[in-house]
Structures are given as structure tokens and as C-alpha cells.
């Protein structure tokens, strides 16, 4: 008799951005290893679309674009997202109806990025099980729930009061009101509305989160109670299912050879993920500070990531010479391999969730330079909860850059952070190995998917 479970298909719906696509593909690989077939339903991604096709064994379908993108011009991020969800409902239903025809109704579940909640309409119409996937932390999901219940006008008045800013949210220690991620999404009211939409689980039966009990146990328990659906912490997914690509840019592997020539734990690795930008002035202060610290550094400068400059080539000769004396610059690095390299002593990061997990898994302490929204919350956890990093706040100035690098790489304080990072590393690794909490959660999920 044919094994029906092995043939059953999961439809994955990612957000078209590196930090979202990577963990979604890792989840796909983890489920593929458990015997499921994977179809990725993607919108017409610009940059990462072609590299996505290389994930072995996955099928891909494109959700037809149902609206003219010019209609989205001028919208803030929250409004953009809500409009995108509205306009994609019909085209996704069409996409699923075609898939059901082709697959002889063999779809076990639709798993969609929490921001792609338009998928629920199709799941409901075709009576298909659905599960939400959150590529960021459990604590961010908690914040979305809190924000969804706030009233914009009152919150704005409250936040003018410094006492209120520092107040811890009831039952959510150590989260303070000022930690709620409200920057980078445009005006507050649309953001709160977006949170209401995102936390509405509709008919989804569960939420998968790329995190682990050992990192965020209280946020996970809170969510379990609040949402009333099963919460599966499956992270860090990059250990469970490592994957070559998909990558925004071609990895420059020459930096590994450069790292091979450096002394152990001496190098600061600098990367701001796939989207963040910095001003030329900040970059120059960083260059001076790094250079003055006398530590070697590996710096990822993506094309266009320095506002008002084409990267290191367009900087004054004196500065690029100084940078190249101690540093090595690449446009895109094999980040996980770099973090695992014995020469790396610290990670200067914008604290995207993937970068945070990748750094902890390698036991590398961090210099946190969060730029917006959830990155600030991740940085707060890194500095104050896990105590494995230093946060740089306010304007970046060469003296504080030099000081932070020395504190992290050369001083006792940094050694303590590294020690704690190594303890956390072991705990995280244990979660994905036999009988660990993420390992068990994955098996539970598989069991549920097979019996839906
Ligand atoms: C953003 C958010 O910051 C993140 O918190 C959210 O969960 C997803 O969207 P991004 O800003 O790109 O993501 O940061 P991050 O989550 O850290 O993801 C970046 C990814 O790119 C990491 O997996 C990292 O390994 C990879 N990367 C980055 C490289 O492979 N090479 C590089 O040179 C730089």
C-alpha cells in the first residue's frame, strides 16, 4: 500500500525578503526530511526569486500579481502590508485551486509567514489546515499581541511620561512599554491595525516560531495562553536544516581565507543583514573607531547599504587605505561559516533575529547596533537578558566604537559575555538534538500534520 503521509504536500508562503525566506526554506527542508513534499507559493520576488529555485526537491508556483504595484506608492510599511494582504486573497485562492487540481487534493497544510495572512481566506474556502510561521522571536509576537490591544492616542500621550516608558508590562517582565517595537513602521494607528490583523489567528491551528525554550520560555508560555492555539518553538532552524542559499547576493568566500590568517578570537565581524542602511558619516566614524581599536575586522558592505556612497571604493583614499590596513571588506559573506570561524571574536550586528540566532549558536558575543523596530528588542535581550553583548545607543562616534571593540575582544567584561554566550550555545544545540524541546516540538508538529 502506498504511504500516504510521505506523499502529502505542504504549501509554504514566504515573505519576499532574505530574513524571512531563509528560515521558511529551512522549515521546508526540516519537513521534507520528515517525508513531506514541499511547494513554495511565492509572489513575484525581485531579487531572491532566482536563487530560491535552487532549493533541491522543492516545487515552486507563483502567485499571480493581482494589483498594479503603482497603487502601493507612498504607503507606509504597515499600510503597504495590509493592502498587499487584501489584494492577494483572490489570486492566492486561484493559485491553491490550481494546485489542488494538479495534486489530486493532496495538500496537508498551508504554512504561511505571519505577515502573509491573506492565505487564511484560501485555507478557509478549500477547508485546508493552516499554520502560521513567525520568522522572528516569540517576544516580538508577544509585542504584537500587546500592541493590538492599545489605543493609539492614549499610548502616544502615555509615552510622553518617562515613568510610563520604563514601566514593565504586566506579567511580561522584563518588557517595558518603551521596548514595544513601534519605530520603522510609519504612523502608529496603521501599525496597531496591522498588529490586530497579524495576531488574528483566524482558522490557523498553530503557530511555529523560529526560537527555542532555552531562549524565550516565558514569552512562549504567555503566547500559548494568549493565542489559544498550539505554539511550536522549532528553532534554531538553521541547525535542524542547514541549507545552501537562497542568498541575496553571491557569497564572497575569499574572506574565509583572510580569516584563516588571523589570530583566534581577534576579529570583529560586521554585518547589518540584508536590508539595513547607514549614513556615510556613521560609516566613517565606524572606520576610524575600528582602525583605532587595532583589532582586525571583516566588514560586509552591501552595494547601496551606505546612504550617499557606493561603498568603500568611493570613500576618501586616506580612509579606504586605513580600513584595508586592518580590515577586509566583502559585499556578502557566508555568515554562518564566518561566525563559526575560530578567528572571530565578536559580531557587530543590527540584531536581526536570524543574525542573533546564528551568533548565539556559535557562542559569539555581540556589539548591538539595532536600527529599528524589533531589532531594538532583540538588542535589549542580548544586552540585558542573556548578557552576551554591548548595545551602542545614540550617535556613533569613533571613541565609543574603539571602546566597545576593546571591551568585547580584550577585556574581562567581554570574556564574561563570551562565556555566557558559550553556555547559551550548548543549551541551544541541546534543544535540537534528541529529546530537546525543539526536536520534540518538530516531531509533534509532524504528527499533527499527518493526522490533520
Ligand atoms: C529582517 C529582520 O531584521 C529580522 O529580524 C526578521 O526576522 C527578518 O527580516 P534582516 O534585516 O535581513 O532580516 O536580518 P537577519 O534576520 O539577521 O537576516 C539576515 C540573514 O542574511 C542572516 O541569515 C545572515 O546569515 C544572512 N547574511 C547576512 C549572509 O548570509 N551574509 C551576509 O553577508 C549578511
Report the separation in Å between the CA atom of 169 and the middle of ligand 1, taken as the mean of its atom positions: 28
Which residue did the predictor score with more confidence, 395 or 306?
395
Q: Is the minimum distance from the CB of 276 to ligand 1 under 6 angstroms?
A: yes
Which residue did the predictor score with more confidence, 105 or 124?
124
Interaxial angle between packed helices 412-432 and 398-409, expressed in degrees from 0 to 180 and rounded to the nearest 10: 60
367 and 272 Cβ atoms separated by less than 8 Å? no
With 70 as the cut, is the pLDDT of residue 439 above it? Answer: yes
What percent of the chain is predicted at pLDDT more than 70? Answer: 94
What DSSP string runs through 174-237? T-BGGGS--TTSSSHHHHHHHHHHHH--TT--EEEES--HHHHHHHHHHHHHHH-SEEEE---H
CB atoms within 10 A of CB 62: 14
Q: What per-residue confidence (pLDDT) applies to 312?
A: 66
Report the separation in Å between the CA atom of 15 and the middle of ligand 1, taken as the mean of its atom positions: 13
Pick among 1.20.210.10, 3.40.50.300, 3.40.50.2000, 3.30.505.10: CATH of 4-235+432-451:
3.40.50.2000
Q: How confident is the model at residue 2 (pLDDT cuts 50, 70, 90)?
A: very low
| Fold entry, domain 254-429 | Rossmann fold (3.40.50)
Q: What per-residue confidence (pLDDT) applies to 1?
A: 39
Q: What per-residue confidence (pLDDT) applies to 49?
A: 55
Predicted confidence (pLDDT) per residue in 380-401, tens digit: 999 999 999 999 999 999 999 9
Report the separation in Å between the CA atom of 33 and the middle of ligand 1, taken as the mean of its atom positions: 24
Predicted confidence (pLDDT) per residue in 18-34, tens digit: 899 999 999 999 999 99
Q: Is the minimum distance from the CB of 300 to ligand 1 under 6 angstroms?
A: yes
Report the separation in Å between the CA atom of 451 and the middle of ligand 1, taken as the mean of its atom positions: 34
Q: What per-residue confidence (pLDDT) applies to 245?
A: 60
> What is the model's pTM?
0.95
What DSSP string runs through 221-268? HHHHHHH-SEEEE---HHHHT------SS---THHHHHHHTSPTT-EE
Q: Whose CA is nearest to atom 4 of ligand 1?
A: 352
Which residue did the predictor score with more confidence, 319 or 190?
190
Q: Which atom of ligand 1 is nearest to the CA of 17?
A: 9
Q: Which atom of ligand 1 is nearest to the CA of 136?
A: 7
Sequence ranges of the domains in the chain: 4-235+432-451, 254-429
CB atoms within 10 A of CB 303: 10
Mean pLDDT of the chain: 91
Reading phi first (left if > 0) and then psi (alpha if -120 to 50, else beta), residue 228 is in: left
- Separation CA 236–CA 437 (nearest Å): 11
Predicted confidence (pLDDT) per residue in 343-354, tens digit: 999 999 999 999
Q: Is the minimum distance from the CB of 20 to ligand 1 under 6 angstroms?
A: yes
Average pLDDT on 411-423 reads 98
With 70 as the cut, is the pLDDT of residue 310 above it? Answer: no
Does the model's ipTM exceed the 0.95 cut?
yes
Q: What per-residue confidence (pLDDT) applies to 53?
A: 58
Residues in the chain: 452
Predicted confidence (pLDDT) per residue in 224-262, tens digit: 999 999 999 999 999 999 876 667 788 999 999 999 999
Which of 274, 277, 349 for a ligand 1 pocket mutation test, highest count of atoms within 8 Å of Cβ? 274
Q: Is the minimum distance from the CB of 354 to ligand 1 under 6 angstroms?
A: yes
Predicted confidence (pLDDT) per residue in 67-81, tens digit: 777 888 889 999 999
With 90 as the cut, is the pLDDT of residue 411 above it? Answer: yes
- Separation CA 413–CA 125 (nearest Å): 57
Q: What per-residue confidence (pLDDT) applies to 18?
A: 87
Amino acid at each position: 500500500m502506498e504511504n500516504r503521509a510521505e506523499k502529502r504536500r505542504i504549501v509554504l508562503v514566504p515573505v519576499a525578503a532574505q530574513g524571512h525566506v531563509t528560515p521558511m526554506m529551512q522549515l521546508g527542508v526540516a519537513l521534507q526530511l520528515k517525508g513531506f513534499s514541499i511547494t513554495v507559493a511565492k509572489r513575484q520576488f525581485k531579487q531572491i526569486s532566482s536563487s530560491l529555485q535552487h532549493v533541491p526537491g522543492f516545487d515552486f508556483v507563483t502567485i499571480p500579481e493581482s494589483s498594479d504595484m503603482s497603487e502601493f506608492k507612498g504607503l507606509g510599511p504597515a499600510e503597504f502590508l495590509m493592502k498587499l494582504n487584501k489584494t492577494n486573497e483572490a489570486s492566492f485562492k486561484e493559485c491553491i485551486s490550481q494546485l489542488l487540481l494538479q495534486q489530486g487534493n493532496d495538500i496537508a497544510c498551508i504554512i504561511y509567514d505571519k505577515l502573509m495572512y491573506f492565505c487564511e481566506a484560501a485555507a478557509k474556502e478549500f477547508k485546508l489546515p493552516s499554520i502560521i510561521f513567525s520568522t522572528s522571536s516569540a517576544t516580538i509576537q508577544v509585542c504584537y499581541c500587546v500592541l493590538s490591544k492599545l489605543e493609539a492616542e492614549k499610548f502616544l500621550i502615555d509615552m510622553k511620561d518617562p515613568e510610563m516608558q520604563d514601566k514593565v508590562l504586566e506579567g511580561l517582565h522584563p518588557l517595558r512599554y518603551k521596548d514595544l517595537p513601534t519605530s520603522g513602521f510609519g504612523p502608529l494607528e496603521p501599525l496597531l491595525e496591522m498588529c490586530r490583523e497579524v495576531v488574528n489567528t483566524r482558522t490557523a491551528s498553530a503557530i511555529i516560531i523560529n526560537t527555542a525554550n532555552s531562549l524565550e520560555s516565558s514569552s512562549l508560555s504567555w503566547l500559548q495562553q494568549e493565542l489559544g492555539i498550539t505554539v511550536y518553538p522549532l528553532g534554531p532552524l538553521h541547525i535542524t536544516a542547514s541549507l545552501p542559499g537562497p542568498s541575496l547576493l553571491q557569497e564572497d568566500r575569499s574572506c574565509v581565507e583572510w580569516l584563516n590568517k588571523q589570530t583566534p578570537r581577534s576579529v570583529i565581524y560586521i554585518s547589518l543583514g540584508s536590508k539595513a542602511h547607514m549614513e556615510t558619516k556613521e560609516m566613517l566614524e565606524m572606520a576610524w573607531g575600528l582602525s583605532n581599536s587595532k583589532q582586525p575586522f571583516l566588514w560586509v558592505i552591501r552595494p547601496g547599504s551606505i546612504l550617499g556612497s557606493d561603498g568603500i571604493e568611493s570613500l576618501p583614499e586616506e580612509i579606504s587605505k586605513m580600513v584595508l590596513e586592518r580590515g577586509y571588506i566583502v559585499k556578502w559573506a557566508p555568515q554562518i561559516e564566518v561566525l563559526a570561524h575560530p578567528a572571530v571574536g565578536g559580531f557587530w550586528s543590527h540584531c536581526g533575529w536570524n543574525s542573533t540566532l546564528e551568533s548565539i549558536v556559535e557562542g559569539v558575543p555581540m556589539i548591538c547596533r539595532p536600527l529599528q523596530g524589533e531589532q531594538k528588542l532583540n538588542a535589549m535581550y542580548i544586552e540585558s537578558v542573556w548578557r552576551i553583548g554591548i548595545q551602542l545607543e545614540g550617535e556613533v562616534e569613533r571613541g565609543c566604537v574603539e571602546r566597545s571593540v576593546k571591551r568585547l575582544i580584550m577585556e574581562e567584561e567581554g570574556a564574561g559575555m563570551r562565556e555566557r554566550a558559550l553556555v547559551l550555545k550548548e543549551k541551544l544545540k541541546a534543544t535540537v538534538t534528541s529529546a530537546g524541546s525543539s526536536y520534540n516540538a518538530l516531531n509533534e508538529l509532524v504528527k499533527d500534520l499527518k493526522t490533520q
